[in-house]
Amino acid sequence: MTSSSSAQGRNGVRHVDVDSGSAGQRIDNFLARELKGVPRSRVHRLLRKGEVRVNGGRVRSGARLEAGDRVRIPPVSVDAGRRAEGDQPPKGMQERIGAAVLHEDDRLLVLNKPSGIAVHGGSGVPWGVIETLRAMRPGTAFLELVHRLDRETSGCLLVAKRRSTLRTLHEVIRDGALEKRYLALVKGRLPKHPLPVEARLDRNARRDGERTVQVSSAGQAARSVFRRSEVFHEATLAEVSIATGRTHQIRVHGTYAGHPVAGDGRYGDQEWNKTLRKYGLKRLFLHASGLRWKDPDSGAEHVYHAELPDELRGILVRLEESRP
């Protein structure tokens, strides 16, 4: 289902009226569908600069639309160097994403997203998971990401095949009822008891001119709980549950607690990362291992699990073999 009507004015500006089928959708996701092929980074830049208006006023990226809203969309061209009309994702990417399907029904796709693949295109990345899925399934009318994972993170990723499913799952997420579990190799020895980390995160901080995430009283509330699973000489395999889904949350919280995530080139311990390369670690050791929630209407419980990838399991085997 799409927006109910669209009118084009002078200079290519469009005014789109939001129907009931799009009610509750985030403005950035709405724009991603209306501006196909435009990178997400540019969509957010349009919102920050106030070029997109809802009912005549500026709007933030996370704002949700209501039926009857009128959205002003400026003319936007696809960035040069991005994919051309009719291009297809690389065959290898299609094969990897096709093999990553954990579950599929008429409402939902659950993927075990490989590390190194972005969930959506942008910033010089022409093909992400969602663009590739749409290209692979041209007959599927609706495919939208329910949530996101970092490019370097592998594991469970939800894709809605109906707008009603997307709305329901966004409601579950807003209510804090989507249980997300991760496996992370962290530096040092975690205590036997669970280690909760509650620290507000500001994702608009700057470091050396680059946007980053840092602990700040001005940030958004975030909570992560680290639990010890396996202990090695100088590392712990941790099960991590998060009650919020902030950008880079586990990575920043781990470092804040003195237990940086292995292979993290941005927030981690770089000397330790060099040591781990001797064991074959070539990526971030962070894996979204499981998702669980109850359908708010039917009460049915949904549980999905993604096994730790072989390349990460191999690191644990080599760490175990090297134990003093």
Indicate which residues carry an active-site annotation.
150
Domain ranges of the chain: 5-73, 91-168, 179-321
Alpha-carbon Rg of the chain, whole angstroms? 21
CATH architecture of the domain formed by 91-168: 2-Layer Sandwich (3.30)
Residues 97, 275: Cα–Cα separation, whole Å: 31
Whether 238 has a pLDDT exceeding 60, the answer reads yes
pLDDT of residue 196: 97
Tokens read off for 202: 């500001």
Where is mean pLDDT largest: 5-14, 26-35, 95-104, 136-145?
A: 95-104
Handedness of CA 11, 17, 22, 25 (dihedral sign): positive
* Top-level class of domain 5-73: alpha beta
State the average pLDDT over residues 162-179: 92
- Range with the poorest average pLDDT among 120-124, 138-142, 162-166, 233-237: 120-124
pLDDT of residue 86: 53
Q: Chain centroid to CA 133: how far?
A: 16
Q: Sorting pLDDT into bands at 50, 70 and 90, what band is 43?
A: confident
Percent of the chain residues topping a pLDDT of 70 = 90
* Top-level class of domain 179-321: alpha beta
pLDDT of residue 16: 87
Whether 62 has a pLDDT exceeding 70, the answer reads yes
Where is mean pLDDT largest: 23-27, 79-83, 236-240, 245-249?
A: 236-240
Q: How many alpha carbons lie under 13 Å from residue 7 in its C-beta half-sphere?
A: 6
pLDDT of residue 17: 85
State the average pLDDT over residues 64-68: 86
**Which amino acid appears at position 18 of this protein?**
V
- Range with the poorest average pLDDT among 4-8, 189-193, 204-208: 4-8
To the nearest whole number, what is the mean pLDDT of the chain? Answer: 88
- Give kind and range of the element (H or E) at residue 255: helix 249-256
Tell me whether the CATH fold assigned to 91-168 matches the one assigned to 179-321: yes
State the average pLDDT over residues 6-17: 69
Contact in structure between 249 and 199 (CB atoms under 8 Å): no
How do residues 256-294 score in pLDDT, each as one tens digit? 999 999 999 999 999 999 999 999 999 999 999 999 999
Tokens read off for 150: 């970092």
pLDDT of residue 6: 57
Contact in structure between 247 and 213 (CB atoms under 8 Å): yes
Residues 163, 107: Cα–Cα separation, whole Å: 9
Which are the contacts of 310, defined by CB distance < 8 A and separation ≥ 6? none
pLDDT of residue 208: 66
pLDDT of residue 67: 82
| Helices (H), ranges, the chain | 27-34, 40-48, 91-99, 129-136, 163-174, 249-256, 270-277, 310-321
State the average pLDDT over residues 109-132: 88
pLDDT of residue 89: 86
Q: Sorting pLDDT into bands at 50, 70 and 90, what band is 209?
A: low
Residues 46, 14: Cα–Cα separation, whole Å: 14
Residues 260, 272: Cα–Cα separation, whole Å: 9
Whether 95 has a pLDDT exceeding 80, the answer reads yes
